[in-house]
Amino acid sequence: MAIEVLIGRDAVPIDDTVFTTLLDSSVAGTYKGYERALESGRIKYAELVELARKGEIPHSLFFAPLSLVQRQVKTKTEKLLAGVSRDTFSIGSRSKVDLRDVELIVKDLIRKQQLVRKHDPSLQRNSIIGLLRDDTSAVEADAARLMSAIGLSNEQLRSCRTKTKALDLIIDRLEANQVLVSRSVQHYMPQRLTHVEFSGMTIRDNKVPYIFLAGGDHGDDQEPVGRTIFTLALMTVLVARRIFAPMTWDGGSAETDPGREYDIAGAMLMPTNRMKELRPASIDDMKAASDEFKVTASAVTVRAMRLGIINRETASNHLDHLRGEFRSLPKGGPRSPIHPENAVRKYNGRELTVRMLHALDDGSISPGEFCRSICLNNLKPSRIDDLKRAVE
């Protein structure tokens, strides 16, 4: 079989296995031009070049022997997987993440890790990675140890006026310990995530590991900020347990055993002693506790079930009720547009942005390179001062 590449009036055949091998290993495989070419068996040369550009593939490789292409793809994948595992870490979820769905974001965050390591000699070896290696210790002990290591207390979280303030506090404490946190911002990342269902990912580095928080609807009908807080706690546990992978989890399921990592995250945010004092049983109890712990009512329900405060049937009924309530809420209107400097700060994370601004001020990186590598050309050099104000 062959794909015909149309160059003027001529048709040049290329091996369809070469075509699919190259595009299936990149984000370009998600574009309609790829699907049309497979269906019709032909593609215009200009369209092929554009797909190659989107996938960061030298277009000459489409005319190379299959053996060479396979070696090139293998080398590229091995380099990419140096920072993140191919396997998805799933908790109570059937969703899997294809590496190409997040490939450009992975590459961008790894490149940013390398840049900050190059330009900031003050970075120390990270103390959070591998902190929780022992599977024999009590879950509550691991949770307390991790909270202490990042300098965060339950009292601090409970004193936050809103869940958004609590999320910001957790991020601040992680970044103070050189765990970088990136958040999804549509149109300001190198890749679209509209067709991907996943919670986020952890990316390896012995000084500045990255946590990426995916945005959008996760399909389990929970209010977004409380869910994000639990997601962030869970991914912090993954970093502490040396697990670096894309992650999916279903926060509204009572049917599966979510495992040790989930229980540690639960104990971090909803301490066992306090849960047993509250003994939440009714829907209203779950909602009141969720306001105190800054998580979702569904998270409190699953935690109460895991601690034996309520049984599985009650938990399942509560979760069904909470899902129904969430679905019935009026959907918000169009969101206010985010300012470019705030979007760049959110996607990079404040800590990475601040450290690279220091490198810019020291002259070790040029304004043009800063705007290209750190801002992905979403800011021009004339807007760098706006970014500085955004991170103050």
Q: Is the pLDDT of residue 373 over 70?
A: yes
pLDDT, residue 366, reads 94
Backbone φ and ψ of 350, nearest 5°: -65, -40
- Using one digit for the tens of pLDDT, what is the confidence trace for 5-47? 999 889 999 999 999 999 887 767 767 889 899 999 999 999 9
Q: What is the mean pLDDT of the chain?
A: 90
- DSSP structural state of residue 189: S
With bands split at pLDDT 50, 70 and 90, how would you rate the model's confidence at 219? low
Residue 126 near residue 203 (C-beta atoms within 8 A): no
With bands split at pLDDT 50, 70 and 90, how would you rate the model's confidence at 318? very high
Q: Is the pLDDT of residue 384 over 90?
A: yes
- Secondary structure of residue 100 in the 3-state scheme: helix
pLDDT, residue 64, reads 93
d(CA 84, CA 77): 10
pLDDT, residue 27, reads 67
Residue 126 near residue 206 (C-beta atoms within 8 A): yes
pLDDT, residue 134, reads 84
Residue 239 near residue 202 (C-beta atoms within 8 A): yes
Other CB atoms within 10 A of residue 355 CB: 24
Per DSSP, the residues of 279-335 read ---SHHHHHHHHHHHTS-HHHHHHHHHHTTSS-HHHHHHHHHHHHHHHHHSPPP-PP
With bands split at pLDDT 50, 70 and 90, how would you rate the model's confidence at 335? low
pLDDT, residue 255, reads 64
The encoded tokens of residue 197 equal 């269902």
- Using one digit for the tens of pLDDT, what is the confidence trace for 119-170? 999 999 999 999 998 888 999 999 999 999 999 999 999 999 999 999 999 9
pLDDT, residue 307, reads 95
- Using one digit for the tens of pLDDT, what is the confidence trace for 234-273? 999 999 999 998 888 876 666 667 889 999 999 999 999 9
pLDDT, residue 95, reads 73
d(CA 107, CA 269): 31
Tallying the residues shown for the chain, one arrives at 392
Surface-to-core class of residue 53, CB atoms within 10 Å of its CB (0-12 exposed, 13-18 middle, 19+ buried) = exposed
- Looking at 104-113, 131-140, 219-228, 346-355, which range is the least confident one? 219-228
What percent of the chain clears pLDDT 70, i.e. is strictly above it? 93
Beta bridge partners, 105, equal: none
Determine the average pLDDT of the residues in 310-334: 86
- Secondary structure of residue 95 in the 3-state scheme: coil
Does 219 or 151 have the greater pLDDT score?
Answer: 151
